[in-house]
Structure formats: structure tokens, C-alpha cells
Structure 1
């Protein structure tokens, strides 16, 4: 019998996110790190909450798999201890905070974006793109969010595609450097260059130093849209979660620059949340496309077939797709420069 129960799950989806975001905002998981058990009364004292809200929050976080019962209280689950404790190497709280503070309220006006085809998180008449801004704190939060997502996506990519033969990688729009850092960790003979805007490269250099990869990962400042060319002489060019930000003509221009940056025989890697070729899913890719409506002027998520056709038109050969499961991508489209 068909029932509306699945629809109720869609209706209440934001309840889970806002519960999660509220717990991160309180610093709940950080405060009870290391196996500490927190009771309802302890939460009242520690966070200044009345008993009913404290009880409801702890119970809800347990239901979401973020806390687990331990005697009369709750403690972090393995995933919360690993990714939601501030200061840990793979802290995911930046992603939670960014979505909560930057995109959640604009998403309430999604109908406006559908009618106008204009972004909701920034004004195209005042800025060139979503990456230009006068709010250093929000920009830092954005790149921290991208780093926490990208580091495990890079790890998933290395499981699906063998980079052991590559020596020099150009990470176009590489952000804070998560992909370059992780790919170099997994491939000792690989050296990587992050090509991004000056203020982004400054953040990447901090991450590179923390990862003790100075000398193997470096940065070159530039604008992959505005600059006529990219740095050249690389055997691998990576576009990780870049092309979904732009429309088709812009992406074809980027791919032409990538072809020029590669040495003959070099490989391009386009790592993205790929739509199925019939554009019917999966949900993660399709809904990321909706988020591009909220955050970009022309961005959308594309299918593997679309990327393969663009690569063919750009002049690449031996084009293929590999699939994997990562928090920021589910596959990569590869092509070789003849």
C-alpha cells in the first residue's frame, strides 16, 4: 500500500540538520571528548539549558547517531569523536557551521531563486562571484568547510584511480589544499601545485606546513577564470568540485586551459558529484545542483556524459569515468592529452 510516510521524511529533513547544527554551535561534542559521559543535569549546568531542552537535545543527537547512551548519560559516538571535536585533524564542524550560517536561511527563499535564476547568498551586481567577499571570517569558514569535505574525498579518489605513475600535479582552484595534501600523502613520488587566488593560497600554505609537506606541495597565485593561461608542464591536472560552480561555456574555457597546461600524455581528473547520464539522480548530486542555484550564477551539477562530451570537444582522448563514494564527490571523469 502506498503511504505518505516517505514524504514526511522529506518534510522533516531540516529538523535533523538544525539539531545537528545547534549541537555543534554549543560545542557539545568537543566538550565531552575523550569518552566523557554527560547526563541531562550535567548538560543543564554546562550549557545553561533548562532541563527539558537539554533532555530533548541529547536524545535527538543520540537518535542521529552522534551520541550513545552510557549509564545515566551520553557520550560521543565514534564518528562524533573523530570528526566533531574541534582541533582534531579532520574536524567537520566547519562544514556544519558554514551551511548553517551561510546557506540555511537563503534556502528558505528557494522559490525566489527558481523564478529569478539568481543566487541568494550574494549579489552579482556587487561582486564578481561567490568567492569574492569582504567577510574574512565567512571566507575562512568556507575554506575550512571545503577542506574537511575534500580530505576524505581525495582519499576515496586514490582508491579508485592509481596516481602512482604521476609526478607533477596542478590542482586548479585547489582551495586550502586538501586534495594536494592527501594525494601526496598517498603517492610518495607525487609533487603538487595549488593554483588559486592569493588569499586562498595563504590558507593552503598554512595547511601544507601543518601536514609537513612543504617542498612537495606548493602554491601559485592566479585566477583560473581571468588569467589567459594556467601554469604548464604538468602530467596531471585536477579539477575537484570546481566545474559545478560554472556554466557550460565557462567550463569549456577552463578545460581548454587545462589541456594547454598538460604535457603530452598527461591526464585530467574531474572529480565531482556526478549526475546519472539520464539526470534522474542520485539525490546528493541533484540536490547539490539545487544548492548551486542558491549560491552561483550559472552553476549546476552535470552528468558524466556531459563531462565526457566536453573533454572530447576540448581534444582529450581515452576518456573514461571511475566511481567511488566520498563526501564531496561520487566519481571522476578522466581524459588524456594526446
Structure 2
């Protein structure tokens, strides 16, 4: 939960100026760190262990010009990825170790570089126009969702790796809550590649799933579903949830929305929830699972979520973000529902709202 750390400003003037000075160079330093990984240079530094390794040895082993190895390693000292030892040898630092080997950091790095980096040049235009002005760097779409299945590699892989990493870890944690009333039919709104629906069918042998999504996403999900032999239990309902009068399948015991509503503006969220709720009966529940920046127990996850908000601004749609939990609650209430259960998922990052008809 939010602990008030955004209220604090404990830096001395000198510390504050130093932070601001370094911020001006962050985009360049990020690329240095990425290239140290992609070229294998940082891996070679790690292999040198405590004894260290010289730039000459690395250049020779990787067939990279010595100039390039030297300049990257020198800059890595200021970043904090390496340490310079006696006899001009480099060893890896604690930060360098995590940058090289931590899966979450690798996923974030690839996502920022492949999906977001070029488009950020257009951020100011996106802010002033409420349009995803940076998306033109990836393709000719108004919103990224239209082109997810058409993205070039490695952009597509980086996008889906990022999306799945931050949802898959939570699914098993919330299944006891989702299945406590033995639902027979679950509507998976924004089901994307079908991972949640597939996981539900693996968890419960009787449940039937319907995925609501755009045609491109459903076609990708259907392929995964068919390969697993689950086409008799998971069906698709192709639809744009933003059309004026969307028709959802009726009599859903549960309507599920996981990391989906952050893809829309507050007005669009109200539209989606109010229309999806028409598929509910009096005993149904609508579940929303989201990463709320104010619910993070540490500054780093909140920092990552704020960065993700800018992806939505410049690259995805121009009008959504990672939300404050109370903003989402207000959207639920405006849509004619009420939050009856508010659960902090065990992984510490996600929040699960159980909503019912008001």
C-alpha cells in the first residue's frame, strides 16, 4: 500500500542537483547498458570474476573493435555496472549482476528499447494532442491494439513478454477467489492470447470460457487454444468494446478484466464496464485485476508503472495510463457497480476488485 513516500523530499540541494544532472543523461546511459548486454561485453566482465578482465581481452574474444569495448566499459563505471581494478581490469558490480541476469530487468529493458524508445521522441506531441504520436515508429495504426498481431520482431516478442510477465505471476494467486462459487461461464474481456482462459480451464475441469477481443487477438488466441485441444471449452466473441452499443454474451457468472482497463481513458472504462455488466445476472461478479501505482509497497514498482503510463501516452492510445486505485473505483461506481471486495494479491503488486451490480 502507498506509504507516503511521494510526500517526501529529503535530498539536500547538492544531491538534488546531482540527480537532475544525471537525469539529463539517462536516455544515453540506458542505451550503453543495453549494448553492454546485447554484445556480450558485460557477460565477459562477469566471467572475469574477482580477478577482472581487460578491454583488450574482451575485444579479442568477441571480435569487437577495442575502441567500442573501451568506451562502453568506461561509461559503465559511471552507470555503476562495473568496477575498475588494478592493471586496468574490470569486474562486475552488484548492479551489473542484476542488469545481466535478472529476468524482470531483461524484460523491461527489451520492452523499453524495442517498443517504446523511438516513439518517445514524439511524447510532447502526444501530450498536446491526446494521440499516440509515437506509434508511427511501429506501424500505421491509430492505436497499438489494432496492430499487435502485425508487429515486427523482436518488437512483438518484447511486447508480449512484458504483458505476460506481469499478469501470469498473479493468476494462480487469485484462482481460489475466482472459483470459490464454482462459476460455470466466465467472460474474459480483453483475453488477448488466451493465457488466462487456458489457465482457468487447467485449474477447473468444468468451466467454460468466452474471450472478448479484437479479431487479430482472437485469431492468435484461437491458435493457442486449438493446439491445446480446448476449443470445446473456450470460444471467442470478436468485438470492439468501444463501439456505441456492444453486445456481450449473456449470463456470465464472472466477467474478468485483467490488466485491460488501463488501456483506456476513464470515460472509456466507464463505457466498457457499464456495457459488460449487461451480461451479468444478479449473482454474477465482475473482477478487475490491475497494477495500481498507489498500491505499491516500494518506490521501484511505482517508478516502473509511471514509466508504463508514458508508453500508453506516446505509443498505445494517447489517453490512458496506469491508474490510482481510487480513480478506478470511481469508474466502477459511475458504471453502476460497486466494489464489494478489495484484495491485495499475494505477489504484492496486483490489486483485485470484486464488483457487483449496485
Query: For residue 330 of structure 1, what is the aligned residue in structure 2?
Result: 350
Query: For residue 6 of structure 2, what is the aligned residue in structure 1?
Result: none
Aligned residues: 316
RMSD across aligned positions (CA): 4.4
Secondary structure at 1:108 match in 2: helix
Query: For residue 221 of structure 2, what is the aligned residue in structure 1?
Result: 204
- Alpha-carbon offset, residue 182 of structure 1: 4.1
For residue 136 of structure 1, the aligned residue among 138, 150, 158 is 150
Distance 1:184 1:144, change over 3 A: farther
Query: For residue 49 of structure 1, what is the aligned residue in structure 2?
Result: 64
Distance 1:263 1:143, change over 3 A: farther
Once the two structures are superposed, residues 244-271 of structure 1 have per-residue CA deviations (whole angstroms, 9 ceiling, x without a partner) of 2222222211102221223332222222
Secondary structure at 1:109 match in 2: helix
- Alpha-carbon offset, residue 290 of structure 1: 2.9
| Matches for 1:1-338 after TM superposition, within 5 Å | 1-3=12-14, 4=16, 5-8=18-21, 10-15=23-28, 17-22=30-35, 25-26=38-39, 44=59, 47-54=62-69, 60=76, 83=103, 96-122=109-135, 127-133=141-147, 136-138=150-152, 141-142=155-156, 145-156=159-170, 158-159=172-173, 162-165=177-180, 166-167=182-183, 168-185=185-202, 190-208=207-225, 212=228, 214-215=230-231, 218-223=234-239, 224-226=241-243, 228-276=246-294, 282-295=302-315, 296-324=317-345, 330-337=350-357
Secondary structure at 2:221 match in 1: helix
Contact 2:126 2:318 in 1 (8 A): no
Contact 2:250 2:279 in 1 (8 A): yes
Structure number, greater radius of gyration: 2
Q: Normalized against structure 2, the TM-score is what?
A: 0.68
Secondary structure at 1:229 match in 2: coil
Distance in 1 (alpha carbons) for counterparts of 2:162 and 2:321: 22
Unpaired segments of 5 or more residues in structure 2?
1-11, 83-89
Distance in 1 (alpha carbons) for counterparts of 2:121 and 2:324: 27
Distance 1:80 1:209, change over 3 A: farther
Secondary structure at 2:257 match in 1: strand
Distance 1:198 1:58, change over 3 A: farther
- Alpha-carbon offset, residue 25 of structure 1: 4.9
- Alpha-carbon offset, residue 293 of structure 1: 1.9
Secondary structure at 1:122 match in 2: helix
Secondary structure at 2:313 match in 1: helix
Secondary structure at 1:131 match in 2: helix
Distance 1:245 1:148, change over 3 A: closer
Instruction: Say which structure is richer in helix.
Output: 2
Secondary structure at 2:135 match in 1: coil
Secondary structure at 1:230 match in 2: coil
Q: Normalized against structure 1, the TM-score is what?
A: 0.71
Distance in 2 (alpha carbons) for counterparts of 1:27 and 1:218: 43
- Alpha-carbon offset, residue 170 of structure 1: 2.0
Distance in 1 (alpha carbons) for counterparts of 2:116 and 2:48: 33
